[in-house]
Structure formats: C-alpha cells, structure tokens
Amino acid sequence: MTKPADAFEDIPGTVHFNGERLRQGYQLNKFLSSLLEPDNRKAFKADQAAYLTSFKMTDEQRQAVLDRNWVRMLDLGGNIFCMTKLALVDGTPFQQVNAIMSGMTMKEYEEMMNAGGRPMEGIRSKKEQNIG
Amino acid sequence: MTKPADAFEDIPGTVHFNGERLRQGYQLNKFLSSLLEPDNRKAFKADQAAYLTSFKMTDEQRQAVLDRNWVRMLDLGGNIFCMTKLALVDGTPFQQVNAIMSGMTMKEYEEMMNAGGRPMEGIRSKKEQNIG
Amino acid sequence: MAEIVAGFCTSHVPLLGRVIDGGRTQEPYWKPIFQGYEPTKKWLADLKPDVVIVIYNDHANGFSFKYTPTFAIGCADEFNPADEGHGPRHVPVVHGHSRLAWHMTESLVADQFDMTIMNEMDVDHGLTVPLSLACGQPEAWPFKVIPICVNVIQYPQPTAERCYLLGKAIRRAVESYDEDLKVVIAGTGGMSHQIHGARSGLINQKFDNWFIDKLTTSPAELTKISHAEYVREVGAEGMEIIMWLTMRGALDDNVDVLHRFYHVPAMNTAVGNVIMQNSRASA
Amino acid sequence: MAEIVAGFCTSHVPLLGRVIDGGRTQEPYWKPIFQGYEPTKKWLADLKPDVVIVIYNDHANGFSFKYTPTFAIGCADEFNPADEGHGPRHVPVVHGHSRLAWHMTESLVADQFDMTIMNEMDVDHGLTVPLSLACGQPEAWPFKVIPICVNVIQYPQPTAERCYLLGKAIRRAVESYDEDLKVVIAGTGGMSHQIHGARSGLINQKFDNWFIDKLTTSPAELTKISHAEYVREVGAEGMEIIMWLTMRGALDDNVDVLHRFYHVPAMNTAVGNVIMQNSRASA
Ligand SMILES: [Fe+3]
Ligand SMILES: [Fe+3]
C-alpha cells in the first residue's frame, strides 16, 4: 500500500482499515460475515474448529477466533463490524468487547460511558497519548 | 421512468435498455444468467419447464424461452448479453439469433455481413427508416 | 415537479433499534433518548412526505467486502431488513420508489456521480433504525424510501466534500422529476463514537455540538475537514457523520432548525437529531 | 514513480477468443484479423510493461444485474476467467497488482471518482480477449493487470466525457505511485456493431475511422457526443468504444500513432486496434 497518511498513523488506539488491512483480514472477515446466515451460525456452533477450516485463514486467525481474542482479531485484520457478528452469535454484549479492547473491566468501562464517555484529552494524537 | 430521451426513441430496431426494461426483464434475465453455472445448465437441459418455474417470470416470458422466440424475449425485457447464455447452451450460433431478429435468413444475414455489414443508410432515424 | 421540502439527521445506533423492538423505550436509561425524538415523530407524521431519501451506510450486513461501492442507490421496489447476526429486525419491509430512483440515477450519472445501481439489496440498521426513530412501530412505513448507501467503513471513503456535492446533485435530480412528490432527505450515522481499539468509548460533545452549529450556518467549512481529522475528533466509526453533509447539500444555504437534540450516551455512542428546512419555506 | 508509457485500444470480440483458443487463427476468414494484431504483439513483447490497466466492460458474466457499478476497480491478487455459458476460457489466471490498485483507488476517490472496490471478481471476454489478441497464448500473462470495469450495458452509462476524465485521473493516480513501474493502459470494446433487434449487423466504417482520427488528434471533441448519438452511429453494443476515451485521457494531448488497424467484419463486428504513445516519448 502507499504509506497511510501520517495523520492516520498519529491517531492512537485506532485501526486505519485500509487496503492492507482488508487484504490481511479478508478470509477472517469472510468467516465472520458468513455468520449472517442462520445455517452457518448453526454449523459454527456445532463444531467451531471444523467450521473454521472451510475458510482460508491463517492458523493465527483461527486461534484468535477460538480464543475469542478480540484484540488479536483486530490486529490480524478483523473488521470491527464483522466482529460484531461473532459477538452476537456468542451473546457477548459489545460493550464487553470494547472494555477488553481498551484494557478495562466491564464495570470501569460502563462507569466511564455513563459519566459521558472516554474523555478526548490525550487520545487525539500519539504525541499526547495517554491510552493503549 | 422518466421519458427516455427522444433521441433514443428515434433510433429504429434498437432496444434502449433502461430502468424500465431492467425491471420488466429482471426475472427473465436472472433465469438466463443462472445458466452461467454448470449445475444449472444441466438442470435446465434435463427439464426446461420445471427449471423455469423456479424463477418469478411471467408466463409469457417462460413461453418465449421455451419457444426460443428471441424477438419476444427481447420485447419482454430480455437483455441481449443474458440471451447469449441461452444460445450458447443450445449451441445456436448468435448470428442466427441476429438473423432472426432482423427478419432475415441465416444465408442473407451472412452474405450481408461478408459484404461489410448492414449499411447505415436508412437505419439512423425512424424518420428515414428502412428496417423493422 | 418533485421537491425536497426538508431534511433531518439522526444517529442510527443499532441498540436503539433493539430497544424499540423489545418495547423498552420507557426504561429510565432509554427514555430521555426517545423523548428527544418525539418532536421528529410528530413533525414527520404531520408533514406526510411521499418519499424519504435515506443516506446511510451498511455495516458489512447487506454488503460483504466482496465489493464496496462508494455510492450505491437502491432502485428496487422492496428492500428487506438484513439479518445482522441474530435474525432480521421485525420491522416492515422497506418499499422503494423505483421510478424516482431510476430517474435520480440517470440524473446523478449524467452529473458525473459514478453510482452503483442496486437492483436487489437488504438494508441494515443504518437505514431501519432511523425509520424506527422517526416513525415508531407502524405496520407499514408511511412513505417510500430511496436508500443511498455510502461507503464509510472501508478506506478510502468519499471525501466530506464529495458527500456534500452528492447532496446538491440529489436535489437537482429530484427537482427534475416529472411528477409532484413531497420528498424529505435524511442523513444518518454518528455522532461521536469509536467501537474498536484502545480509544473505544470516546465521546466528543464539544465537536459534535460545533458540528451541528456549522452544519446549520456554514456547512461548506465542514467539507474542508480531512478524513483523518474526522477520525481523530469523532472516532473511526463516528466519521460516518460526513453523511449528514449529503442531507445538508440538498437544502438551501439558509435553513431554519426546527428541532435539535443531543444526548450522551446511548451505550457507546453520542446521539444527535436535527431537523432543518429551507428558510424561504418557513417564511 | 510509475508512468503510463503508452496506450492501446482494441475490440474485444468474444469469437476472436474462441478462434484463438481453438487454434484456428490461420483459417482464411480469420487470418487477416490476427495478422493485423502482429505489430501489437511484437510491440508489447518488446516494451515489457510491468502492469497493464485494462478498461473493459463485463457482459453479464462476472457481474449480474443485482448490482451495476458505473466504475469498478479490481483490487484483488487474482481474477479468474468467467464462465460465460460453456465453461471458462482456458487462458491463464489474470494476476492483479493489488498494491497499485489500492493506491489508484485512494487517488481516484480523493479525486471525486466514486469507484466500486472489487475484492473478488471474475473477468469475461471483455478483458481476456484483448490479452489474447495482444499476447497470443502464453502460459502466464507477461504482466500484471488492473481491471477497470465500466458499465456500458445498462442505461445510464457514464458519459463519454466522464470516461475521458477517468483516464486523466488514472494518470494522476499512477504518477503519484511510489515505486518505479512501466504501465500501459488499454481501452477495449467496439468498434461499430449491434447484436440485437432489427438493426443487428450494422457496421459503420465511416464513423469508426473518423473516431480513430479524432481520438488521435482531438479526443475532447468525442467527449461531447451523447450516448444516443453513439448508439445511432456505432450501435447499441458498439457504444462501448467510449472506453477508448479513458485510455486516451491517460495520455498527452499530443500522441504518435504507432499502429493502426481496422477490419470488417469479424462475424458481427468491426475490429479496430490502435497503439498510441505520447509524442515527447518518441522524440
Ligand atoms: Fe453506522
Ligand atoms: Fe463488449
């Protein structure tokens, strides 16, 4: 890919879902999107590892799915909207995924949101970064 | 649809494949395009009428297919590129379809083409029309 | 002649759809949000538009990454609610206005917008939640809908300026239609939120409110902001508010704000809802 | 920096692909056509481009009418030859240049072209026949290919002007790429033919030759011609020659013609093939 604009690179705790990411995560996201079909959800639930073999993912990506390692999935090219499908199938509230991704407990995360969300101070630029 | 530009309407012997046509022929073209799959070609050849019932076409459209009435298919919203699939499945040379559509024998049509194609005189505008 | 008589913007938070569908709008956490939409519901019920053009984005539900159109226009008669992972929402089928949609497509393409023509597609919460927020739970949606789906989830997204110009082109398209129709345009998405990575949960009330101010008085300024700046200020997922600019582009430079509502949070997201109409219309 | 060093245009008649695949190029009916392509084959073999950008259209093979992008760009690593009704052509898989394609997509979208990003697609004779005509029957295509698919089969097609401007934007995209690459651009389709209705079989030698003249010396004039006029003069299916304007837009205003070939008929179609390069390049 062309170098992503420095501006994107400068934003902390954020994935720039560009062509490189798309390519890296293509099969992973194809698996995740396959869960939109009721039959596929059933097949996946019945035998997760077997179902995963029908997608040309890397072993790392498969393991991240089996481990429900959301941070790893994101690192390996997972698209966040595709990941919501898996959370729905599992019945995991997405706030929990967000708590995990930002290194907080569910309680801390909920309290932060109820207090008006994550404050913008220190999360605009890597130069002033206070997260991650 | 909005009234197609008068310019298109003025061209003789030519279908303006606009939104209205697309809508009219949607299921017919869906059937025709289904022939791109080897399994579907097999199923169609095995029992044409039965295969056709799986598409929400009008009875007129189904009959035109069964009759290989190319002119009628075109009238009923058939897209010419979709129609090439059916000709290929039948093994009908497309020149023959073109001969039929222009009311010529295959021999006449071939001779016309070998002599440099249909001359432009009289086929530019309905006002000066000498075809159809 | 068809006319765009007004526009509204709204967040399209999927959870709000689930709360409506589950009959939980009166719960203390949710009630203030749905109260904020009451004026919009009343306004729309009184206005009775024939068609609502909904600018929205899909979230890998109706589309897969197999292909990603920058701008797609729904030309079909019907659009079914998408299965987003636990069965489709139990909301009415969305009825299109195929004749107007095709006219718009012709006009937009002639105007150098490279639309993708959709003859079959399912619509996800990006479209159906705004309908629920603005109409409640009717047995059938009380107007026809022309869905215009914008790619905001895969880089490169269209620029904010391109989204704004699309609004202007949509207006030209509608106004050149040969039948009398009362049309409303809706911009959806936002406001500030990010639902991935270490910045998950960000909310930027200051930017959101500044954005609504500018959207009202000087939208062209908002078209100069880069994707990266939007992502920085409103989050990677919140940058979908550039779709509000499409709605804004379809209105006059001078508008009156009939309703303005902002609430924090709906779980992960700031919620905004604004109604605007051309000033001459209210004069 | 990558550079577009030259362009060529060619018809993409499916039958020519079948004749090549069937080893029948030396039959008396076909021989003059393939002889006309010999200079192009030699030129391309000597030039050894890294990438060829192929402007083509699909004929309801790789795409269905479910969705119709105005402009689609192939960003994948591989594109398989489509099954067009009797099994795919036995030609090599087409290898993409994903990195350049994504760069081009970013540049084109920033330049206000509303591309549809294709991450999976099959390519039909519109793309593979030009490769066969220009390369013969190699075991693998000797360059990478970026397919750009234009909707010319469903009204509303992009205007001739828009196709020309796309060429200019493609040039800007290629020239802003960070790696040295020798790029050729191909415009495909045409020349005059109509394969439906009572006008089936039309051939307009006068217009075709005038079009090639103008394409060389004053392409902007060709961008002013309406779709209806193109359909009238070169047939409903022949109007796909507007894709030659995209190739032309990617070159300088002044070009030298290195090869020019025209033949009537290949069954239903006039066949044309032209190679152009920027005049400064030949100086
Ligand atoms: Fe959204
Ligand atoms: Fe073609």
Prediction ipTM score = 0.96
pLDDT-based confidence at residue B110 (cuts at 50, 70, 90): very high
Q: What is the pLDDT of residue A7?
A: 86
Residue pair D164/D249 in contact by the 8 Å Cβ criterion = yes
Q: How buried is C115 (Cβ within 10 angstroms: 0-12 exposed, 13-18 middle, 19+ buried)?
A: buried
DSSP state of D238: G
Residues of chain C above pLDDT 70, percent: 99
Rg (CA), chain D: 17
Paired with D118 in beta bridges are C67, D74
Q: Which long-range contacts (CB under 8 A, 24 or more apart) does A65-69 make?
A: A65/A28, A65/A31, A68/A92
Q: What is the pLDDT of residue B132?
A: 55
User: Mean pLDDT over residues D127-141, rounded?
Assistant: 98
Report how far residue A120's alpha carbon sits from residue C98's, in angstroms, rounded to the nearest whole number. 44
C198–A contact, CB cutoff 8 A: yes
C178–B contact, CB cutoff 8 A: yes
Report how far residue C6's alpha carbon sits from residue D258's, in angstroms, rounded to the nearest whole number. 57
CA distance D109 to chain C (A): 6
Give residue-wise pLDDT tens across range D7-16: 999 999 999 9
Q: What is the pLDDT of residue A1?
A: 38
Give residue-wise pLDDT tens across range D259-280: 999 999 999 999 999 999 999 7
- Specify the DSSP element, H or E, that contains A119: none
Neighboring chain A residues of D99 at a CB cutoff of 8 Å: 1, 19
Cβ <8 Å between B22 and D229: no
CA B110 distance to own-chain centroid: 19
Residues of chain B above pLDDT 90, percent: 90
Contacts of D172 (CB under 8 A, 6+ apart): D107, D111
Q: What average pLDDT is seen over chain C?
A: 97
Longest dimension (CA), chain B: 47
Instruction: State in Å: Cα D266 to ligand 2 middle.
Output: 14
Report how far residue C26's alpha carbon sits from residue C24's, in angstroms, rounded to the nearest whole number. 6
B5–D contact, CB cutoff 8 A: yes
Q: What is the pLDDT of residue A127?
A: 86
Sign of the four-CA dihedral A49, A50, A51, A55: positive
Q: How buried is C173 (Cβ within 10 angstroms: 0-12 exposed, 13-18 middle, 19+ buried)?
A: buried
Nearest to D60 among B10, B79, B123 (CB): B79
> Mind listing the domains of chain D with CATH numbers?
3-282 (3.40.830.10)
Residues 16-75 of B with CB under 8 A from D: 16-19, 22, 26, 29-30, 33, 35-38, 41, 74
- φ and ψ at C203, to 5 degrees? -140, 135
Instruction: State in Å: Cα A116 to ligand 2 middle.
Output: 57
Give residue-wise pLDDT tens across range B57-78: 999 999 999 999 999 999 999 9
- D1 pLDDT exceeds 80? yes
Phi-psi region of B91 (alpha: psi -120 to 50; beta: other; left: phi over 0): left
CA distance C61 to chain A (A): 7
CB pairs under 8 A between C and D: 91
- D204 pLDDT exceeds 50? yes
- Specify the DSSP element, H or E, that contains A27: helix A26-34
Q: How far is CA A2 from CA C66, C239, D166, D173, in A?
A: 22, 22, 21, 11
DSSP state of C26: T
User: Mean pLDDT over residues B74-101, rounded?
Assistant: 97
D102–A contact, CB cutoff 8 A: yes
Report how far residue B25's alpha carbon sits from residue B19's, in angstroms, rounded to the nearest whole number. 10
D116–A contact, CB cutoff 8 A: no
Neighboring chain A residues of D106 at a CB cutoff of 8 Å: 2, 18-19
Q: What average pLDDT is seen over chain D?
A: 97
CA angle centred on C88, ends C84 and C94, rounded to 5°:
110
Report how far residue C154's alpha carbon sits from residue A33's, in angstroms, rounded to the nearest whole number. 15
Report how far residue C102's alpha carbon sits from residue D156's, in angstroms, rounded to the nearest whole number. 9
D264–B contact, CB cutoff 8 A: yes
Question: Look-up: residue for tokens 């097999």?
Answer: B42
Under DSSP, is residue B50 helix (H, G, I), strand (E, B) or coil? helix
- φ and ψ at A2, to 5 degrees? -65, 150
Length of chain B: 132
Q: Do chains B and A touch (3 or more CB pairs under 8 A)?
A: no
Question: Is position D263 annotated as part of the catalytic site?
Answer: no
- A2 pLDDT exceeds 50? no
Sign of the four-CA dihedral B42, B47, B48, B51: negative
Residues lining ligand 1 (ion), CB within 5 A?
C 189, 240
Q: What is the pLDDT of residue B7?
A: 87
pLDDT-based confidence at residue C281 (cuts at 50, 70, 90): low
For domain B17-89, the CATH superfamily is: Dioxygenase LigAB, LigA subunit (1.10.700.10)
Q: What is the pLDDT of residue B130?
A: 72
Tokens of D142: 């000797």
Neighboring chain A residues of C199 at a CB cutoff of 8 Å: 11-14, 102, 118, 123, 131
Reference B101, options B112, B109, B90; nearest CA is B109
Tokens of C161: 């300026």
Q: What is the pTM of this model?
A: 0.97
- A97 pLDDT exceeds 70? yes
Under DSSP, is residue A66 helix (H, G, I), strand (E, B) or coil? helix
Give the torsion through C-alpha atoms of D251, D256, D262, D268, to 10 deg. 0
Phi-psi region of B68 (alpha: psi -120 to 50; beta: other; left: phi over 0): left
- φ and ψ at A102, to 5 degrees? -105, 15
Give residue-wise pLDDT tens across range C200-229: 999 999 999 999 999 999 999 999 999 999
- C253 pLDDT exceeds 60? yes
Paired with C181 in beta bridges are C2
Reference C186, options C78, C275, C69, C121; nearest CA is C275
Domain edges within chain A = 17-89
Give residue-wise pLDDT tens across range D97-122: 999 999 999 999 999 999 999 999 99
Q: What is the pLDDT of residue A4?
A: 47
Give residue-wise pLDDT tens across range A33-72: 999 999 999 999 999 999 999 999 999 999 999 999 999 9
Nearest to C99 among B1, B22, B26 (CB): B1
Under DSSP, is residue A20 helix (H, G, I), strand (E, B) or coil? helix
Paired with C271 in beta bridges are C263
Q: What average pLDDT is seen over chain A?
A: 93
- φ and ψ at C7, to 5 degrees? -140, 155
CA distance C198 to chain A (A): 4
- φ and ψ at D70, to 5 degrees? -65, -50
Residue pair D84/D129 in contact by the 8 Å Cβ criterion = no
Q: What is the pLDDT of residue C7?
A: 98
Tokens of B77: 């919203």
> Helices (DSSP H) in chain D: which residue ranges?
14-21, 31-47, 98-110, 125-135, 160-175, 205-217, 219-222, 227-234, 244-249, 279-282
Phi-psi region of C11 (alpha: psi -120 to 50; beta: other; left: phi over 0): beta
User: Mean pLDDT over residues B88-95, rounded?
Assistant: 95
D263–B contact, CB cutoff 8 A: no
Tokens of A9: 């690179």
